[in-house]
Chains A and B, each alone.
Chain A
């Protein structure tokens, strides 16, 4: 596609439920990043994919968070047993080779846990 697409744009879920957030990167971009943006805060790195592998998962805040990428394209971020502190905007970015200068961000998924 022309840009990075994320879905859903908004998600309200009850505490304890699992959620899946989807990211469609720009076609041909091999690198994909997930960031989390809490209200009024900067972006917090979660995980990085190069192709289908994730060489850097250091930002995932707990084992309730996981992500996968298939076919070197679509990525899914899964949060199990959601907590209220998980409420944030989850942003996905892709780049052609992994260079941070080439990041293109999606518009994000706003997750609200009630």
Chain B
């Protein structure tokens, strides 16, 4: 069945370094992918999305890369800050016309920024 998963459950990096969080997906029909950040006690917060017809998209300090050949997605965070410590989820969506645009989420990676 459909699944989205992450290679590593935890990741620790030094403040100021760059971090890369990976995600594998299995549904080649997915139309776009979203990265969410979830801080303790809060709901997931949208970070960035990428459509399936793109390879790369950049935001503020974040870059998402999509490799459709190997069904791999990554989130790069540049110059990490203490506030980046959180659990990061990738999610995939298959547009279904006017139907429910529900997301399939991965397990999540806990990112810890060390001072």
Interface residues of A (CB under 8 A from B): 4, 33, 35, 40-45, 48, 50, 55-56, 59, 91, 93, 98-101, 103, 105-108
Contacts and interface: CB of A to CB of B under 8 A. Distances in A.
Chain B contact-residue range equals 20 to 34
Given A98-B101, A101-B32, A107 B41 contact: yes
B34 A100 contact: yes
Contact of A100 (B43, B45, B102): B102
26 contacts: A4-B43, A33-B100, A40-B107, A42-B4, A42-B91, A42-B106, A43-B105, A44-B105, A45-B102, A45-B103, A48-B102, A56-B100, A56-B102, A91-B43, A93-B43, A98-B98, A98-B101, A100-B34, A100-B102, A100-B103, A101-B46, A103-B103, A105-B43, A105-B44, A105-B45, A107-B42
A101 B107 CA distance: 19
Q: Pick the most buried of A40, A42, A55, A99: most chain B CB atoms within 10 A of its CB.
A: A42
Contacts of B107: 40-42
B34 A101 contact: yes
Contacts of A106: 43
Contacts of A100: 34, 91, 93, 101-103
Q: Pick the most buried of B34, B42, B43, B89: most chain A CB atoms within 10 A of its CB.
A: B43
A55 B103 contact: no
Contacts of B100: 33, 48, 50, 55-56, 98
A77 B105 CA distance: 21
Contacts of A43: 44, 89, 91, 103, 105
Interface in B67-115: 89, 91, 93, 98-108
Given A41-B107, A42-B108, A100-B93, A55 B99 contact: yes
Contacts of A41: 107-108
Contacts of B9: 40
A6 B106 CA distance: 23
A99 B97 CA distance: 10
